[in-house]
Amino acid sequence: MKKINFILFTASLFVLSACSSDNDTIKDEEKPTITINYDGGFPQVCESLQRGETYTFRARLADNEALASYSLDLHHNFDHHTHDDQGATCSLDAKKESVKPFIYMENFSLDGARKEFEIEIKILIPTDIDTGDYHCSFSVTDEVGWQSRTSVDIKIVN
């Protein structure tokens, strides 16, 4: 009987010690930040990009704990749509149907629990794509899943 009580007591201690309260852990409830509004950030609102040229897209990322990934999305805005995170808008050309729009979408992972990072992505704007209104959207995700993004209107010209 003493042996059974000892086993039950030991098992109870093990179960209780394995439990923890959420109050013991500080949760990361802060979203990461992303900005292109600094010297060197690119592109800025209403920037014109030339077909056939290579550009380095730059944005600064930061998080209170650790960054996990980021992405860059370039797509046409021939239908004049907007994004909920978009700041200023530029004068737009007339709406049109796309024939050969430029689309760039890439996701990138970050290693090493970085709290700050500067995106630098070189992109060649093809010579044979539709000119006109485009959006440039950056996004960032931290290691617990919080996400932020920013978008700007740009133009691709001849």
Cα–Cα dist 151/85, whole Å: 6
CATH code reported for the domain at 30-157: 2.60.40.3880
Strands 104-109 and 54-62, sheet pairing: unpaired
* Predicted model pTM: 0.81
Tens of pLDDT along 89-143? 789 999 999 999 999 999 999 998 899 999 999 999 999 999 999 999 999 999 9
Tens of pLDDT along 63-99? 999 999 999 999 999 999 988 676 677 899 999 999 9
Q: In terms of Cα–Cα distance, which of 39, 67, 50, 5 is closest to 156?
A: 50
Q: What is the dihedral of CA 31, 37, 40, 42, to 10 degrees?
A: 80
Q: Residue 13 is inside which H or E element, if any?
A: helix 2-18
